[in-house]
């Protein structure tokens, strides 16, 4: 399963079934044991060649993506909706979407600029002012295929463009899922526990449970993270940069990297000549928080792929950064010490 296949799957938080099924199929030939816990997290275990001599290592990524959910339907067949996860309403107007179990095509709409007041044009239109047009004429027609509670995903095809750039929806965090699948194609000295968490985008809900369910010594969280490397952004404010390798975090709003593990990642990247960089902002958060704090805790670090336009219909990564993330994880698993 490649990155194109993974991003094509619909998996808004709480509705990860399609991603879960695909991962189960891909994982079974690669692992000794694969299971699903009560929160819908996929847990895979691969025994190491010298497991008694080495610590257990956890690899974590999240299956879900940001999206929307139908909250009501108007009399003239328009869908009202809310975001699932953090999505800036400024980036979604006129974007194509797929609604419900039947993948009904629709377009996110708002009052045309010709009809907006000066006050409207001076402010960001909120979700209350937006709707989804699926071409229905009546409330009954729309509700037949898209009842309240239907999930909505962006309809964005996977595209490769420029000098190795990839544009798609859900790169946060299908890049992490893809890295784990690629890493599991090889065998390592240590035991490897892999968790594909559910509902990360709405508060790391899956990780709050999965953090208790394993006895790993180290936790490596694999993510996509905002880059902020374009336009007139000052050099000091560029969080990380596409094309400069995997981003290693010292701290975010959820966790502080285990210092020796943080340094070890840099040492390995330099020794193995793996492109890498430091994530230079303390912002955001992910399942590293629960992994670090729950139960007895774990020594944790986050390795991210820089991503432009994150949490939007068209996020962008550079494929060589994905390969750098994979290379650094493999390097540590082959020599899992701090």
Q: What is the DSSP string of 180-192?
A: HHHHTTS--SS-E
Q: What is the DSSP string of 271-298?
A: HTT--EEEE-------THHHHHHSTT--
Rounded to 10 degrees, what is the CA torsion of 180, 302, 85, 18? 10
Compute and round to an integer the Cα radius of gyration of the chain. Answer: 21
Token pair listed for 125: 């239109």
Asked whether the bond before 205 is cis by omega within 30 degrees of 0, the reply is no
Sign of CA dihedral 174, 235, 285, 210: positive
Query: 200 an active-site residue?
Result: yes
Q: Quote the CA–CA distance of 265 and 277 in Å, as a whole number.
A: 11
Within 8 A by CB and 6+ apart from 203, the residues are none
Q: Is 143 helix (H, G, I), strand (E, B) or coil?
A: helix
Specify the DSSP class assigned to residue 78.
Answer: P
Say if residue 64 is exposed, middle or buried (CB neighbours under 10 Å; 0-12, 13-18, 19+): buried
Among residues 16, 199, 200, 287, the one annotated as catalytic is: 200
Number of C-beta neighbours around residue 213 at 10 A: 16
Contact between 221 and 300 under an 8 Å Cβ cutoff? The reply is yes
Nearest to 245, CA basis, from 212, 279, 214? 279
Q: Quote the CA–CA distance of 46 and 56 in Å, as a whole number.
A: 10
C-alpha atoms less than 13 angstroms from C-alpha of 76 in its C-beta half-sphere: 3
Active site residues: 200
């Amino acid at each position: 399963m490649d990155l194109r296949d993974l991003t094509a799957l619909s998996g808004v938080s709480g509705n990860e079934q399609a991603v879960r099924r695909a991962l189960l199929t891909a994982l079974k030939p690669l692992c000794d044991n694969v299971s699903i816990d009560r929160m819908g997290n996929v847990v895979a275990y691969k025994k190491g060649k010298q497991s008694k001599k080495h610590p257990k290592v956890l690899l974590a990524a999240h299956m879900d993506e940001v999206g929307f959910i139908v909250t009501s339907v108007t009399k003239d067949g328009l869908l009202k909706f809310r975001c699932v996860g953090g999505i800036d309403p400024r980036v979604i107007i006129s974007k194509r979407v797929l609604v419900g179990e039947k993948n009904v095509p629709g377009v996110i709409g708002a009052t045309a600029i010709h009809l907006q007041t000066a006050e409207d044009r001076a402010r960001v239109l909120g979700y209350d002012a937006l709707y989804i047009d699926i071409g229905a004429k009546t409330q009954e027609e729309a509700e037949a295929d898209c009842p309240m509670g239907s999930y909505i995903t962006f309809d964005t095809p996977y595209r490769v463009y420029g000098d190795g750039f990839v544009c798609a929806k859900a790169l946060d965090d299908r890049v992490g899922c893809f890295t784990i699948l690629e890493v599991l194609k090889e065998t390592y000295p240590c035991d490897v526990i892999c968790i594909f968490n559910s509902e990360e985008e709405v508060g790391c809900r899956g990780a709050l449970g999965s953090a208790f369910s394993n006895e790993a010594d180290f936790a490596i969280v694999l993510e996509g993270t905002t880059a902020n490397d374009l336009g007139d952004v000052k050099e000091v404010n560029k969080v990380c940069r596409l094309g400069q390798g995997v981003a290693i975090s010292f701290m975010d709003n959820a966790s502080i990297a285990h210092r020796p593990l943080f340094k070890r990642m840099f040492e390995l990247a330099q020794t193995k000549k793996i492109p890498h960089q430091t994530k230079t902002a303390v912002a955001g958060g992910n399942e590293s928080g629960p992994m670090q704090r729950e139960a007895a805790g774990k020594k944790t670090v986050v390795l991210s792929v820089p991503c432009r336009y994150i949490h939007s219909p068209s996020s962008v990564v550079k494929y060589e950064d994905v390969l750098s993330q994979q290379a650094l994880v493999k390097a540590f698993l082959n020599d899992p010490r701090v």
